[in-house]
Homo-oligomer: A and B are copies of this chain.
């Protein structure tokens, strides 16, 4: 039983190591959420700047770039501080996502240079920013997917969905601003707006399912003060497709949407703080379990050296499920009882953890199926990402199915589809 206990102690040491890696991953996620927010700001201002033909907001654009670069430098510096071997939770998968995100970030100087030269449309430059932001969001998604601590994994799923909702809100802001500026909504923009609003709502719902009570309260309180009615009123005008839009509303729309995004970011920050607290709490709990188990191990060695046979008898009685035989072996009985309880607790804990992770993973799996099905359609039908999404959604609506079910049926026949070259 001493050997069993030693492995239990080794398991706690290992668990603390894993939680520390997870804690570091959460620090990275926090920095990434800040960088995404700055890049969304920069993208927004770049749109206004380009739409004005470079007349407005040149200085504001520069200020946004400086702000993004400062946060990017924080992320890079944080990454440099990671000792090799110390590692992050999720190991190789997270490192690969970091590589992909860093590669995407290196496009920024060129995106900005093009904007300053007013080379390319606001739409085109938006799309480039969106790709960079997408690679950062995928990093947060991966962090949630590889986390094996259910409470932290739940919060990471909440955070990813909140960030993804804000990103759709940012894309909606850009599309709406463009429409107000030219005074009308084209059919393509109208479809995009419908999709983006729909997607935001799905993400917010999932965020609400997985976030903590304290974040949910803050979110509900904040929504009461958000300019939601103003946004809905302007959305209604945008959606009335054949109407001439008041181009003076462009700026109001942009500012109102931006304020909402800043508010969402406040909740993100609250959530990332909660994430790190959850990690630290689990580390402290595991530390205390470790100390208890180490104390048991010491007691057992002492008892064995004092009265080996007595301990053996009590262990055997325990193993046999006959604790009544333990009478008269008081110390041994207390000890083996404690060891037995500890093992029982750990078994239940393992079972609970692995069960809780199932629901977390189900939430992530939906996105994986949909992303993968989009990829298949893009490759086989030469569609853009947006067109692929719309095709899936159309199928789902026509057949009254969930999007994820349509995605799965696409995946199940993927290997039979001809490949377009």
Across-interface contacts of A128 in B (CB, < 8 A) = 320
Among residues 352 to 369 in chain A, which have CB atoms less than 8 Å away from a CB atom of chain B? 353-355, 358, 361, 365, 368-369
- CB atoms of B107 and A320 under 8 A apart: yes
Whether, in the assembled complex, A209 has its beta carbon less than 8 Å from a beta carbon of chain B, the answer is no
Given contacts A10-B84, A106-B315, A320-B110, whether A368 and B351 have CB atoms under 8 Å apart is yes
Complex formed: what's the CA distance from A14 to B93 in Å?
A: 9
Whether, in the assembled complex, A270 has its beta carbon less than 8 Å from a beta carbon of chain B, the answer is no
Closest to A293 in B: B99
Complex formed: what's the CA distance from A110 to B15 in Å?
A: 33
- CB atoms of A12 and B92 under 8 A apart: yes
- CB atoms of B3 and A343 under 8 A apart: no
* Partner among B18, B95, B355, B371 whose Cβ is within 8 Å of the Cβ of A91: B18
> From DSSP, what is the main secondary structure of chain A's interface residues?
helix
Tell me the smallest distance from the CB of A78 to a CB of chain B, in Å: 13
Whether, in the assembled complex, A96 has its beta carbon less than 8 Å from a beta carbon of chain B, the answer is yes
Tell me the smallest distance from the CB of A185 to a CB of chain B, in Å: 28
Whether, in the assembled complex, A76 has its beta carbon less than 8 Å from a beta carbon of chain B, the answer is yes
A: interface residue count bin? 35 or more
Tell me the smallest distance from the CB of A364 to a CB of chain B, in Å: 9
Copies in the complex: 2
- CB atoms of B372 and A365 under 8 A apart: no
- CB atoms of A145 and B354 under 8 A apart: yes
Across-interface contacts of A7 in B (CB, < 8 A) = 79, 95-96, 98-99, 102
- CB atoms of A4 and B110 under 8 A apart: no
- CB atoms of B365 and A96 under 8 A apart: no
Whether, in the assembled complex, A330 has its beta carbon less than 8 Å from a beta carbon of chain B, the answer is no
Whether, in the assembled complex, A37 has its beta carbon less than 8 Å from a beta carbon of chain B, the answer is no
Tell me the smallest distance from the CB of A183 to a CB of chain B, in Å: 31
Mark A327-353 against chain B: 1 for CB-CB distance below 8 A, else 0.
000000000000100010011001101
The 5 closest A-B pairs by CB, nearest first: A11-B95, A15-B92, A107-B319, A7-B99, A4-B103
Given contacts A14-B91, A96-B347, A355-B411, 9 further A-B pairs with CB under 8 A are: A4-B99, A6-B99, A99-B343, A99-B346, A107-B319, A110-B316, A110-B319, A351-B375, A355-B368
